[in-house]
Structure 1
Amino acid sequence: MNEVEQKLVDIKFILDMYNARADTSESTLDKIQKVLIPKTQLNDNQKEMFTRLVNNYSWFGSLVDHALYDYLSDSERTLSNKEFAQVLEIFSLWVMEQEGTE
């Protein structure tokens, strides 16, 4: 099992644990970050982008390309290439988790 696969297994395990405890107010992003920390910590702008991508994904019928297109169409992008890549990494892990539960 490679590093990405192991992280996905870890994320799924943690999300399953949290889903069993419905009384938690912790967001999905916080849960995912617990697995990825210390490798990736998102700043406020990155968290805002992640939230927007998640909302777009839901709004556009679980279509990743539409979620990304809507974000990329915005002329107000403020993330560096590295910051953008970090958000995409976490978003892709989140999407794979969603696809696994459908």
Structure 2
Amino acid sequence: MEDNLLDLSDTVSSTINVHSGVRSQAQQNSLKGNNANTVASTSQHTIGDAADISANNISGVDLSKAAVDSGNFQRVNLYPSGSVHIDQKNVGKGTQFYNNWKRKPNP
């Protein structure tokens, strides 16, 4: 994951800010709290294969497009806040793009 994030940083010529990286299952469970319908029970974050990111002076749309185009991530999700989730969950051939966890055509 680290190498892929460094490559993405080079691609967009900006620092990648990691807002959430590896977390324990206990931390994942605490996120569920009152959000049981919007937070996953299991997450790629708990095995070190996910990060929630943003980049300085780059929109979430442009960052998610760059992440998809890189081919280094299995899933790329654009949150309404503009931050981007990237992970390595095997979803089949190629990168899949989501907007607020709804599958969309790649940007």
Q: TM-score range by the shorter chain?
A: 0.3 to 0.5
- Asked which structure has the greater RCO (Cα within 8 Å, sep 6+), the reply is 1
TM-score by length of 2: 0.32
Instruction: Point out the structure with the larger strand share.
Output: 2
TM-score by length of 1: 0.33
Instruction: Point out the structure with the larger helix share.
Output: 1
